[in-house]
């Protein structure tokens, strides 16, 4: 099949009837307490001197023990198989942390104890492969999703005190945009989600290559395919689908269209709980269902992707091919420089303003023709 990177990026133009930037829609963030007021590790005298969260767990105050040799404490997730054992060794002025995720021991870190920066730096240097493998197995077995592990020798986006970040991305029909504030509210109410979660929707170029005669769930004619695509995604195509001939004289019907991708930023610790909320609201499908590839949200055309945090800002272009190799789905750049600069608005927007913008964007999408330009 043709490689979508061989075609130039689509040029977007404005629509005079819409003053709202419908290409980037900030939805907001969950509200969580800060890590509290805490002291340097070598200045800690009691559990109240410690951060209330640390990477994989929340502080269990009654596990704090202090002696002449130093102190130790445990941080634990709502899943008790996920925890951090933290120890301060006074003789060496050393902080030692041991991390376990879902019963899988991952890493031990020893660093200086005059501040917490050294621990964050050590943690960002690498991520346990066993954790990536375990998360990939769990997610791809339970969700219509692909888990993309962190490449070797690349740093891990890590924040203090909440740890490694992940970005969940999934396609969403425009007529469901106004449900995103409800999703955010549901995650906000779930106190097992420990750290802040951010949500935004970004209009993205999407290309689908269909081998003619092998995709019975989609029309073979360009005009009919454009109409079906509009009905499913809620957004128009970029021009009519085109027919081309590839290897073995196979004919391929290619559609370039627009689609909203929802970007959800969360911690690795909270990732599964965030995805379950999306699945509960039927925004992400289930895995291995006997459904047609174009069926929303369980078909492969609606596959979600989990990326290492920050990778959505790079020139990463997710794609997937169905099992019988009858079609390929490919996305354009996930975040343009313009939209990257707007990410800070996600934290500041109110639920009311976000919902109003989502409603306006939905109405705008309905007003567009089946084939044409979109504003981005």
Pull the structure tokens for residue 213: 């005669």
Instruction: Decide which of 102, 124, 146 is a domain's last residue.
Output: 124
Q: Per-residue pLDDT tens for 6-29?
A: 333 333 333 434 456 899 999 999
pLDDT confidence tier of residue 374, bands split at 50, 70 and 90: very low
Q: Per-residue pLDDT tens for 58-105?
A: 999 999 999 999 999 999 999 999 999 999 999 999 999 999 999 999
Q: Give the number of other CB atoms < 10 A from CB of residue 250.
A: 13
The DSSP string of 146-204 is EE-PPPTTPPP-EETTTEEEEEEEEEE-GGGGGGHHHHHHHHHH-TT--S--EEEEEEE
pLDDT confidence tier of residue 35, bands split at 50, 70 and 90: confident
Residues 226 and 329 in one domain: yes
pLDDT confidence tier of residue 203, bands split at 50, 70 and 90: very high
Q: Is the peptide bond before 223 cis (omega within 30 degrees of 0)?
A: no
Least confident segment among 134-143, 168-177, 218-227, 247-256 = 247-256
pLDDT of residue 10: 32
Share of the chain above pLDDT 90, in %: 66
Residues 118 and 180 in one domain: no
Average pLDDT over residues 212-231: 90
pLDDT confidence tier of residue 329, bands split at 50, 70 and 90: very high
Q: Is the peptide bond before 252 cis (omega within 30 degrees of 0)?
A: no
pLDDT of residue 322: 86
pLDDT confidence tier of residue 372, bands split at 50, 70 and 90: low
Q: Per-residue pLDDT tens for 341-362?
A: 788 899 999 999 999 999 999 9
Q: Does the structure show a pLDDT above 70 at 187? A: yes
Asked whether residue 120 is domain-assigned, the answer is yes
With CA atoms as reference, report the closest residue to 82 among 99, 105, 63, 101.
101
Q: Does the structure show a pLDDT above 50 at 240? A: yes
pLDDT of residue 317: 87
pLDDT of residue 154: 75
Residues 188 and 328 in one domain: yes
pLDDT confidence tier of residue 165, bands split at 50, 70 and 90: very high
Question: Over the range 28-46, which residues count as b (16 or more CB within 10 Å of their CB) and which as e?
Answer: bbbeeeebeebeebbebee
Residues 27 and 120 in one domain: no
Asked whether residue 255 is domain-assigned, the answer is yes
The DSSP string of 116-149 is SHHHHHHHHT---HHHHHHHHHHHHHHSSEEE-P
pTM of the model as a whole? 0.90
Element (H, E) at 210: strand 198-211
Residues 22 and 52 in one domain: no
Tell me the H-state helices in the chain. 117-124, 129-142, 180-189, 222-233, 271-280, 337-341, 345-348, 351-366
pLDDT of residue 58: 96
Q: Are strands 304-308 and 145-147 parallel, antiparallel or unpaired?
A: parallel
Average pLDDT over residues 213-229: 90
pLDDT confidence tier of residue 375, bands split at 50, 70 and 90: very low
**Strand, coil or helix: 209:** strand
Range of the domain at 45: 41-124
Q: Into how many domains does the chain fold?
A: 2
> What is the residue-averaged pLDDT of the chain?
88
pLDDT confidence tier of residue 122, bands split at 50, 70 and 90: confident
Residues 306 and 190 in one domain: yes
Instruction: Decide which of 124, 139, 154 is a domain's last residue.
Output: 124
More confident residue, 101 or 220: 101
Residues 145 and 283 sit within 8 Å (Cβ to Cβ): no
Instruction: Decide which of 95, 124, 153 is a domain's last residue.
Output: 124
pLDDT of residue 182: 97
Residues 28 and 113 in one domain: no
Residues 116 and 184 in one domain: no
Pull the structure tokens for residue 217: 């769930």
Asked whether residue 152 is domain-assigned, the answer is no
Average pLDDT over residues 212-240: 90
pLDDT of residue 15: 40
Q: Give the number of other CB atoms < 10 A from CB of residue 232.
A: 19
pLDDT of residue 37: 87
């Amino acid at each position: 099949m043709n490689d979508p990177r061989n075609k130039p990026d689509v040029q977007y133009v404005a629509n005079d009837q819409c003053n709202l930037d419908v290409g980037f829609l900030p939805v907001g963030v969950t509200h969580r307490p800060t890590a509290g007021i805490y002291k340097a590790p070598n200045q800690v005298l009691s559990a109240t001197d410690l951060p209330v969260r640390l990477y994989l767990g929340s502080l269990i105050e009654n596990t704090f023990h202090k002696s002449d040799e130093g102190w130790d404490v445990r941080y634990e997730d709502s899943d008790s198989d996920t925890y951090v054992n933290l120890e301060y060794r006074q003789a060496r002025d050393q902080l030692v942390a041991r991390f376990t995720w879902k019963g899988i021991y991952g890493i031990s870190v020893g660093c200086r104890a005059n501040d917490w920066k050294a621990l964050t730096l050590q943690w960002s240097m690498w991520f346990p492969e066993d954790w990536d493998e375990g998360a990939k197995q769990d997610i791809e077995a339970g969700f219509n999703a692909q888990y993309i592990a962190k490449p070797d020798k690349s740093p891990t986006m890590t924040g203090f005190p909440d740890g490694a970040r992940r970005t969940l991305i999934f396609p969403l029909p425009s007529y469901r945009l106004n449900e995103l504030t409800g999703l955010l509210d549901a995650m906000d109410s779930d106190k097992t989600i420990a750290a802040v979660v951010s949500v935004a929707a970004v209009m993205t170029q999407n290309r689908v290559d269909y081998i003619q005669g092998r995709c019975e769930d989609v029309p073979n004619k360009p005009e009919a395919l454009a109409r079906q695509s509009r009905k499913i995604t809620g957004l128009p195509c970029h021009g009519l689908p085109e027919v081309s001939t590839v290897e073995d004289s196979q004919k391929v019907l290619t559609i370039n269209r627009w689609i909203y991708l929802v970007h959800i930023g969360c911690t690795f610790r909270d990732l599964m709980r965030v995805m379950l909320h999306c699945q509960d609201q039927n925004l992400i499908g289930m895995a291995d269902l006997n459904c047609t590839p174009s069926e929303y949200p369980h078909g492969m055309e609606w596959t979600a992707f989990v990326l290492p945090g920050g990778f959505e800002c790079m020139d990463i272009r997710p794609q997937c091919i169905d099992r019988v190799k009858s079609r390929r789905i490919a996305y354009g750049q996930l975040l343009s420089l313009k939209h990257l600069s707007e990410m800070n608005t996600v934290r500041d927007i109110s639920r009311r303003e976000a919902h109003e913008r989502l409603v306006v964007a939905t109405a705008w999408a309905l007003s567009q023709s089946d084939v044409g330009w979109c504003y981005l």
